[in-house]
Amino acid sequence: MIVISSDKLKLRCADECFVIDYSCSNIDKDELLKGAVIDISGIILDTREEKLETIKNKILSFLEPYEFKVIHQLPKPLKYLNSALNSNIHTRSILHGDLNMNNIIIDDMRNPWLIDFAKTRKNGHTAFDFIVLEVDIKRFILSESMENIVELLTLESALNNGTWGAIESGKCKIRDTKAFEVLVMIRGNASKYVNKEEYLLALFLYTLSTFKFKDASEKSRKFAYFSAAHLCSSLFLLAD
């Protein structure tokens, strides 16, 4: 898939993403239609792998000494990115496409309503909506309320290593118990449609993608890196 903006072009392949500085002055963008054949010459400026590696190095440069000890005990998530991208997706369905906290509203009777269906689509990964909402809660609520990585890994252990579809919310000792209970409900509903391995694999990939979000804080990126590393560890346990 090719995405053209005013100054950059992104070429998305099955297992890689390239950012290209391109020259296509002879192309009328109004004529860029599906199926059209176009000639583009350019220089590759960046790839997904290189961009994530740069962000990872910046994350590691801000770690506290005890965090370095913790991260060296966990798998290196970027090492497993390509194999995860090439994994098969077994379950597909119609998706909302952008199920974040801003797109759920509560009326005066405390009934929830979904809004903004601009990204609704068919044949998407069944777990996608659950995962977007889970990561949104982790990024904007838990990464701000948690004081350290130990608390985050306590959360991840309770979520990732518990019984699929029957996680016990009372056993996780973190400050924001309400947010954890919501995550347990998300996982419980997701378990009705996808198996644990497929959910954790998709969650791993989406968590890594949040590194590149423009609104991501340094703390949320750090928490996402540790979350991705813990997800790798949990996936290895499932594979054994």
Q: Tell whether 56 is covered by a domain.
A: no
Same structural domain, 125 and 174: yes
Q: Are residues 32 and 73 in the same domain?
A: no
pTM: 0.82
CB atoms within 10 A of CB 229: 22
Q: Are residues 142 and 201 in the same domain?
A: yes
Query: Tens of pLDDT along the chain (240 residues)?
Result: 444 444 455 555 444 555 555 555 556 666 666 666 666 666 666 778 888 899 999 999 999 999 999 999 999 999 998 888 888 777 889 999 999 999 999 999 999 999 999 999 998 899 999 999 999 999 999 988 898 999 999 999 999 988 898 887 666 778 788 899 999 999 999 999 999 999 999 999 999 999 888 888 899 999 999 999 999 999 999 987
Does one domain contain both 86 and 43? Answer: no
Write the CATH number for 205: 3.90.1200
| 106 and 172 assigned to the same domain | yes
In angstroms, rounded to a whole number, what is the distance separating the alpha carbons of residues 204 and 137?
15
- Label the pairing between strands 92-95 and 41-47: unpaired
Q: Which domain holds residue 149?
A: 62-239
- Specify the number of domains making up the chain: 2
